[in-house]
Amino acid sequence: MIRYKLICKKCDNSFDSWFFSSDEYEKLKKKNFLTCYNCNSLKVEKTLMSPSIITSKNNIETKNYEYKKIKKKIRDHQKFIKKNFDYVGDKFTYEARSLHYKNKKNSRGIYGTASKDELNELKEEGIEIETIPWINDNIN
């Protein structure tokens, strides 16, 4: 994608517009598809400036980078939880209740799996739970 700054010779309005390529700009210009959104004039020219270019490749790499950063955060979070909490698997709802109602002091937190309905029930009972994104270690 290329961004051009366009200027209307009639009303002096300038605006940015995106094109797939410089060829596209020329084509649209020839077909009189380029108009000023302010006064509808066809006297729209691109101003002389270096265009900003985003290739789709760059775009994908940026996204991957962001994804990796997020993934690392989740993994760090997971590491912390695995170290400080006890894994109870699908007994999470049961264990969460017993922890809550027995009011065990100084007991470690727990983590495990529960369905959305189960989590809602726990919340209604006033049990503090937090859901976090989880990455399975065997999936990359």
Residues found near Zn ion in the complex (CB under 5 A): 8, 10-11, 13, 36, 38-39, 41
Non-local CB neighbours of 51 within 8 Å, separated by 6+ positions = 2, 3, 4, 22
Non-local CB neighbours of 125 within 8 Å, separated by 6+ positions = 97, 100
What minimum distance in Å lies between the beta carbon of 37 and Zn ion?
8
Measured from the CB atom, the residue of 11 and 54 that comes closer to Zn ion is 11
What minimum distance in Å lies between the beta carbon of 65 and Zn ion?
40
Helix axes 116-124, 92-102, angle to 10 degrees: 10
What minimum distance in Å lies between the beta carbon of 16 and Zn ion?
14
Measured from the CB atom, the residue of 8 and 122 that comes closer to Zn ion is 8
Left, alpha or beta for 77 (phi > 0: left; psi -120 to 50: alpha)? alpha
What minimum distance in Å lies between the beta carbon of 47 and Zn ion?
14
Measured from the CB atom, the residue of 38 and 62 that comes closer to Zn ion is 38
